[in-house]
Structure 1
Amino acid sequence: MDQNTEVRPEDAGAGSGVRFRGEAIVDEQTGEVLGRIALDHGILTFEVVPEARRRGVATTAVREFSRALLTRRDRLEMRIGWDNPVAQRVALAAGYTRESVRRGDPELIVFSRLAGDPEGPTPRLLPDLPGGELSDGVITLRPLGERDADFYTELHNLPDVIATSVPPEPRPAEEVRRRCVRAEAHWLAGTRADLVILDSATGERAGEIGLYYQEPPTGQAMIGYSTLPAYRGRGFASRAAQLIALWAFAETGIARLIAGTLPTNTGSQRVLEKAGFTREAYLRSRLPGPDGTRTDDVQYVLLAGDLLAQASGGGTSHA
């Protein structure tokens, strides 16, 4: 590459609001130090002072610093903890792609940016919820987080919830906590959207629903849900399934939503039917069962057209 066309880091960022002085990120107009950014053996790290956060400083700095460095190298990398979704969002907004998980202690998510990557933020398969939540006035769905660990532990230790889980085994407390802590990272990766079902009238947690985007190439995702006993029979799970379906079909590339139930789980089958799902298949020995056995799976499906037909027909009862 012609060395005269290279951009030095200290010259980068002109007109963006930030410039670089050594490892310091500085305000382009005032010279105020806003944070630091550095490259060590191809690994980019950054931090922003509290007063400069939520102003786009980190994204701008990472984007401009990376753009300058990529005139001289083919690849940059960032390694970010599962419990640091803010930094993960910065990486994606600055054009980095989630690449892998680096095993160890701590376990780190690897993001990379190559010299030939397109400019602009990295597209996400699962965008954020509009306004941060979904609601129909009766229930509200919001993203699962670390604060929900106790509730999630209680829910997933209920005998009937364990019995319908895959596999049907109790989850260790650390695994449950880890799922809550890592929920936002999975959402940002586009693999899973885990949500808590709230009673809109009281704000109390009633259950959970998850969307698992297991087949992006074919546009198929799966949902699963559980509710506390006190909230069953009130249509909460059906409402949650409809809300997440409406969001998925409107805001993502998902074309098919599937859900499975045990043949004996007639309650869950009624939930899906009330939400507009149609029974599609009976899959023999589809799932691992207790004590090394296998269980059958009754599979349901919902398409975007089904929801439109349902709406034109006056809606679905949640009785």
Structure 2
Amino acid sequence: MLPEDVIPAGPVVLRPHTAGDAESNTRACADPEIIRFLPQIPVPYTHDDTLRYLESARGIWKAGGAAFAIADPETDEWLGSIDLKPPLPRDTAEIGYLVAPWARGRGVATAAASALAGWALEHGVERLELLADVENLPSQQVAMAAGFRREGVRRGAERQRDGARRDLVSFARLRGDSGEPVRPYLPWFPGGSLTDGTVRLRPLTAADTDDYQALQILPEVVRHSVPPEPPSLEDARDRCRSAGAAWLDGTMLQAVIEDASTGAFAGEIQLSGVIPPLGQAMTGYSMRPEFRGRGFATRAVNLLVEWAFEHTPLGRIIAGTAPGNLASQTVLRRAGFTQEAVMRGLMPGPDGTRLDDLQWYRLKDIPPRPDTPGGP
């Protein structure tokens, strides 16, 4: 069994639960975000539910796990809970936590998760796992900041209150890991968005599902998609739900293009095909018909590429267009891209055909060459 220690954790302390934590715990578990991402929490959550949790915490200790309160080191105020579930075969244990809404934004969860992970590994646990709902980006950021590495997505791993199953993002930290924070290759936009006063780029979210799908099923958008097939509403919902997790993972950035004056959904833009060793990624974009011909796409590409060159290790952004897609080629030229090559039969077309792809590039700190097609 693990010792019921008191663990200093920077701005907080981990200690065993006490009866005095009950009122704060009950109040915290009425929080909408806790209810949303912890479907096992009863609704409504009562004082009796807290007493049952405190009793179950004793059982966790007896079974070889650990159940701590996260507390203020000065006042001993309860700020949250963090558990180490009893180890599974192969010396693997799972960490789970919740933080009261009044204690968020202070690094409480990161400090607690990092301290508990280090303590558990010192006491013989070989591998720690941390699971987070695919839409729970703050929890995924906590995992990375506490030295956990993302390993993948467990599809349909958790049942929700309505009976549906949701994906969980899986993180792990091993005894031999450094425990240093895992820095995202693609950081968030400063302040949450990018704007030049005319267009605004912000992360794609589940709330954009209907607008996103309506854009992606337009025939002219489908024609230039890979593969050239319209997404179902469920596919669009999954893409929007997981967009933030893919961004954090550094595999794909998807952003909404908005009219900065009205907030209207004007289109979407991505960085995909990210290859860190090469410092290269690909951009692509789609616009709603009523926003075409107004320079929105060019502005969006410029905003995204200039942000990428300033805030990420990327040094080369590429793009591809159909040879006949003159509008997209104009966007890329105006955004500083240079035509590079024609890739014969690169793209899948309808009915098993193959289509040519016109390749473009833009380099960090290097202007387009005047002696190449697309140069000034």
Pick aligned residue for 2:341 from 278, 281, 294 = 281
Check if 1:134 corresponds to 2:129: no
Aligned to 2:284, the other structure's residue is in SS state strand
Deviation at 1:8, TM superposition (A): 5.6
Partner residue in 2 for 1:74: 126
* CA 1:308–1:283: 2 relative to 1, 3 Å: closer
Identity score, percent: 47
TM-score normalised to structure 2 length: 0.77
Alignment of 1:1-319 (within 5 A): 10-13=5-8, 15-21=10-16, 22-40=67-85, 41=87, 42-71=93-122, 72-105=124-157, 106-306=166-366
Q: Structure 1: which 4+ aligned runs deviate by more than 4 Å?
A: 307-310
The code of the aligned residue for 1:30 comes to T
The code of the aligned residue for 1:214 comes to V
Deviation at 1:279, TM superposition (A): 0.6
The code of the aligned residue for 1:24 comes to A
Contact 1:276 1:306 in 2 (8 A): no
* CA 1:308–1:30: 2 relative to 1, 3 Å: farther
Aligned to 1:13, the other structure's residue is in SS state strand
Contact 1:9 1:68 in 2 (8 A): no
* CA 1:58–1:308: 2 relative to 1, 3 Å: farther
Distance 1:262 1:9 in 2: 64
Aligned residues: 306
Distance 2:168 2:217 in 1: 29
Deviations 1:34-70 (A, max 9, x none): 2211122311111112222222211111011111111
CA RMSD of aligned residues (A): 2.1
* CA 1:264–1:45: 2 relative to 1, 3 Å: same
Aligned to 1:305, the other structure's residue is in SS state coil
Contact 1:18 1:57 in 2 (8 A): no
Deviation at 1:308, TM superposition (A): 9.4
Distance 1:283 1:290 in 2: 18
Partner residue in 2 for 1:3: none
Deviation at 1:301, TM superposition (A): 0.4
Deviation at 1:203, TM superposition (A): 1.9
The code of the aligned residue for 1:250 comes to E
Aligned to 2:5, the other structure's residue is in SS state helix
Deviations 1:52-93 (A, max 9, x none): 222221111101111111112232111222121121011011
Distance 2:352 2:110 in 1: 49
TM-score normalised to structure 1 length: 0.90
Deviation at 1:284, TM superposition (A): 0.7
Contact 1:62 1:94 in 2 (8 A): yes
The code of the aligned residue for 1:113 comes to R
- Listed as ranges, the gaps of 5+ residues in structure 2 are 17-66, 88-92, 158-165
* CA 1:115–1:287: 2 relative to 1, 3 Å: same
* CA 1:271–1:15: 2 relative to 1, 3 Å: closer
Contact 1:77 1:111 in 2 (8 A): yes
Aligned to 1:23, the other structure's residue is in SS state strand
Deviation at 1:118, TM superposition (A): 2.3
